[in-house]
């Protein structure tokens, strides 16, 4: 397990947080470890990943809505994602190959030691959850 993932896992254990499933990606040259969980927004459990590897980055990823982009709403939802991307610096919204609306957060985490990784990631969870609580309903209204 890479050093960032080890540090985050220790943080979770120390705080007795057991809401993550941990998966080491086999044969991955970056040593990627995925921590799977969910965030609860408007009564919906949104699949959430924390992706930690040997690069200087850490990723948080939330699937806001599966198969959100359709032929009927394509232009409207692309405009929506673009407008959100202009407004909110830490987030990037995009549609994956299946048309699911994804929110990514990329955090810079250089160095060899990561004593604050848990606090940094959980700080971003606070920002993420606040964003979703304010924006989930308008986003979903455009998708529906």
Q: pLDDT tens-digit profile of 37-56?
A: 999 999 999 999 999 999 99
Q: In 2-143, which residue ranges form alpha helices assigned H by DSSP? A: 3-14, 74-87, 117-143
Phi/psi of residue 5, nearest 5 degrees: -65, -40
The per-residue pLDDT for 144 is 80
The per-residue pLDDT for 94 is 93
Confidence bin at 71 (pLDDT 50/70/90): confident
The per-residue pLDDT for 129 is 93
The per-residue pLDDT for 60 is 97
pLDDT tops 90 at residue 20: yes
Rounded to an integer, what distance in angstroms lies between the CA atom of residue 114 and that of residue 62? 23
Q: Summarize the confidence of residues 18-35 as an average pLDDT.
A: 96
Q: What total number of domains does the chain contain?
A: 1
The per-residue pLDDT for 17 is 95
Q: Summarize the confidence of residues 81-104 as an average pLDDT.
A: 91
Q: What is the CATH number of the domain that holds 32?
A: 3.30.1460.70
The per-residue pLDDT for 88 is 80
Residue with more model confidence, 44 or 89: 44
Range of the domain at 139: 3-143
Q: Summarize the confidence of residues 122-141 as an average pLDDT.
A: 91
Global confidence as pTM:
0.91
Virtual CA dihedral for 46, 52, 57, 60, nearest 10 degrees?
Answer: 10
Residues 6+ apart with CB under 8 A from 66: 98, 100
pLDDT tops 90 at residue 16: yes
């Amino acid at each position: 397990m890479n050093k960032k993932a080890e540090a985050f896992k220790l943080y979770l254990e120390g705080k007795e947080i057991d809401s993550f499933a941990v998966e080491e990606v086999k044969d991955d040259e970056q040593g990627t470890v995925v921590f799977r969980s969910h965030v609860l927004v408007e009564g919906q459990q949104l699949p959430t990943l924390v992706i930690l590897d040997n690069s200087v980055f850490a990723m948080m990823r939330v699937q806001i809505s599966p198969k959100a982009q359709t032929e009927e709403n394509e232009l409207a939802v692309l405009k929506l994602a673009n407008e959100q991307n202009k407004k909110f610096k830490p987030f990037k919204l995009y549609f994956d190959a299946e048309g699911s609306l994804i929110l990514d957060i990329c955090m810079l985490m250089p160095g060899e030691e990561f004593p604050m990784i848990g606090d940094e990631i959980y700080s971003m969870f606070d920002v993420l959850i606040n964003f979703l609580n304010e924006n989930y309903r308008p986003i979903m209204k455009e998708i529906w």
